[in-house]
Amino acid sequence: MGTIQNHPYQIPNSLTHLVIIGGSDAGISAALRARELDSTVAVTVVVADNFPNFSICGIPFYLSGEVADWRNLAHRTADEITQTGINLLVNHKATNIDSQKRSVEVVNQEGEIKYLNYDKLIIGTGAVPVEPQLEGLQLPGVFLLHSMGDSFAIHRYLTESEPKSVVIIGDGYIGLEMADALTHRGLEVTVVGRSPTVMRTVDGSIGNLIASELQSRGVEVVNSVEVKTIKENGKQLVVYGTNDFSKNTDMVIVAVGVQPLTELAHNPGLKTGKKGAIQVNRKMETNVSNIYAAGDCVETWHRFLGEYIYLPLGTTAHKQGRIAGENAVGGNQEFAGSLGTQVVKIFDLAVARTGLRDSEAEAAGFDPLTVEFDTWDHKVYYPGAKKLRIRVTGDRKTQQLLGAQIAGHYQGEVAKRIDIFATAIFHSMKVEELSQLDLSYTPPLSSPWDPIQMSAQAWMRQS
């Protein structure tokens, strides 16, 4: 085989066929990187459905009607992918891996079986929704949401049955985005969660801001309730939970998290760990030679904790897939690790976090201090200034920056600002060093001291 352009290593002469199971973020990222580095390698991507490289994160915006055509959710069209030399095998499910014969068994929708021989294999099967143990999950009008197929089923129900109300079980990212989406469509929305405040991945004061935003848009927020049963009552459904909760509704969406899809791991003897996710090293190699894995089906190296956790994120899947694709054709890259940087838009509120919260930092052995600071997103004399709430977590002893959370108007540069915190944590900066960063300023967009710098200074005053 040829030399990888602009890289100091050689393509192994034995490599002829790279098979990738999974056509979402990790799988397509791996395929594109492999072909980018070596145009002679044959790459086959096995896709269980007919939607390679679609943005699952965009589904709520399709269901809200803000994205009118579901086809626009494709990061790339199938034609654009195949034009790079990648072979797409859509509507084929991988059912078995024989690591001794280096073969993958796949079955199409007609039940026909094929066998794909590989020199290197990448598993990027992703995750599936958690199905809670509750009665009534299979009733008409009750939906899980994770795939394009799920979105079509919900869209069909919305248009044909014309429900007027919906109960969303789960108050995490997807549940809250769907509350926004279905309110946008004119439904009466109730969000039910088990935690005392919504979105338990952020602190309670941020959760309360989210609840206020939801309630201001007419969404009913129910905390500290675990749903136990869904029953039919005439043409409606009734949702029952703890603390004597009951709610009549026309529709139910269940969004209580995801779990890794790793049933293929067992036969070839791939080791699994947290929540059943496939164990990999930072080169995305599994314990079985010539098999890599990436994305929501694997454990993720946490850069700050220095350990593997289960943290399914689209951004992480893209990075891991790229590394797996490069290493499968002779590279030697390592995944730098995740900090759990995330942002979500809920109506006009953007909420973001990175690194460790106070409780997480304490569990990891730090001596954390978290300071909350409210300020304006830009100079208040310029019209349209909005409030930001920033929570900074640092270590009292070392003053190392451990984490941050931000909530504010979605046009208030929340995502940009959490990314600055993430970059600082990535490079092991101390809280005080944030004040030294040379950040941009103009009155319509910021202040001479950016809000993240003011929040860092507030932390220093209390440390």
What is the set of active-site residues? 57
Residue with token string 């991945």: 201
221: which DSSP letter? E
- What is the DSSP pairing of strand 86-89 with strand 42-46? parallel
Amino acid in position 271: K
CA dist 312 and 271 (Å) reads 18
Comparing CA positions, the residue from 126, 46, 41 lying closest to residue 84 is 41
Count other C-beta atoms under 10 Å from residue 338's C-beta: 22
Sign of CA dihedral 130, 132, 138, 143: negative
DSSP string, 283-305: T-B-SSTTEEE-STTB-EEETTT
Residue-wise burial string across 188-199, b where 16 or more C-beta atoms lie within 10 A, e elsewhere: bbbbbbbeebbb
Sign of the torsion formed by the C-alpha atoms of 275, 276, 280 and 281: positive
Question: DSSP code of 431?
Answer: G
Rounded Cα distance, 76 and 159, in Å: 27
Whole-angstrom distance, CA of residue 215 vs CA of residue 279: 42
H or E segment and range at residue 53: none
Question: Within its chain, how far is the Cα of 237 from the centroid?
Answer: 30
Kindly state the tokens that stand for 379.
Answer: 């100079």
Dihedral angle sign, alpha carbons of residues 265, 271, 272, 278: negative
Tokens matching residue 442: 């103009």
Contacts of 430 (CB under 8 A, 6+ apart): 394, 398, 399, 400, 401
**CA-based R_g, the chain, Å:** 24
Helical segments of 72-185, H only: 78-82, 148-160, 173-184
Which phi and psi angles does 57 have, rounded to 5°? -65, -20
DSSP designation for 276? G
3 state SS of 216: helix
